[in-house]
Copies of this chain bind each other. A is one copy, B any other.
Amino acid sequence: MRVAVVGAGAIGGFYGLMLARAGHELHFVVRGDYQTIREVGMQLVSPSEGDFLLAPANVYRDVAELPQCDLILVATKTTSNIDLAPQLAKVAAPGSAVVLLQNGFGVEDTFREQLAPSVNLLGGLCIVSVHRDSPGVIHHFGLGALNVGYHSGEAGQRSAVESMIETTFREAGIELSIMPDLITARWQKLVMNIPFSGLTVLLDSGTRALMVHPATRALVRQLMVEVEAAAALCGHPLPAGYIDEAWAKTDGQPDYQSSMQVDFNAGRPLELDSIYEAPLAAVAAAGGAMPKVEMLYQSLLFLNQRNLQQ
């Protein structure tokens, strides 16, 4: 199968390399790492999956250079979505599947408006621990599952597209689950993303210290509860006990730097639209509010602007 990966950082690189190793024809759109990947290729380093070098081939600087593909994985930061969507629309063939491997809420809507009705659009939630060590070198630490939910497309194509994706990934050794409700799944991911992405930046702290101090421990929990109530108000209630599960999982984890914190410290723009602005707009439209989430968002807007100006 012909597969495109837009944005070959840690996430795009990992899934792309796994699919390439399984025999698929991969096409990568990369920005900063173009030269290295063009000359050396891309490399997977994984204690559990083994190492794999993909020789230089099919690397582009721009989405416009992509051939038509059956499957397009989008693994860029959401901050580039507004520019990316119309470009992608030009190369997404009728009947193809576009899967957004991105954080946050409402990201599919930005793309949907641009794509032809016959293009299938899906969202993916990655459960994987990966890091881009240096240009073209993806270090995989563990996990690797991918939860995918259908967003939209031409009527009647959904189950065929879901099977195609399920088969493709599973044959490549990736544990893939098809989610019945993408939006609920997005809310579930926000339960973790909203407190930890923002507070690690706002308080310049790893996750561990936030979970240890009683004041921020209470605050993390309150932010999660606001997200839970908002999901229910928006018609996508979380499964019973979901917050307790997320809580227990976090409590057991070692200290961790959120990717928003990594972006902030590197002076890159933060993904505030999809993680904060869109869920806040959704709950406001439903007549509710998330006051502490909103305060976090307001503070991050201020910090982000100052950070980018420095």
Contacts and interface: CB of A to CB of B under 8 A. Distances in A.
A182 interface: no
B302 A205 contact: yes
Nearest to A219: B298
A302 B205 CA distance: 10
Given A205-B306, A216-B301, 7 more contacts: A203-B302, A215-B301, A219-B298, A219-B299, A291-B295, A292-B294, A295-B296
5 contacts: A210-B302, A216-B302, A219-B299, A222-B295, A291-B291
Contact of A213 (B203, B222, B305): B305
Contact of A302 (B213, B301, B303): B213
Interface in A75-134: none
A172 to B, nearest CB: 43
Contacts of A213: 301-302, 305
Nearest to A292: B295
Nearest to A291: B291
A293 to B, nearest CB: 10
Contact of A291 (B202, B216, B292): B292
A129 B294 CA distance: 34
A64 interface: no
A218 interface: yes
Contacts of A215: 297-299, 301-302
B292 A216 contact: no
Contacts of A303: 203
* A-B CB proximity, top 10 nearest: A215-B301, A215-B298, A291-B291, A219-B298, A216-B302, A292-B295, A213-B302, A295-B295, A215-B302, A291-B292
A207 B203 CA distance: 19
A265 to B, nearest CB: 15
Nearest to A304: B215
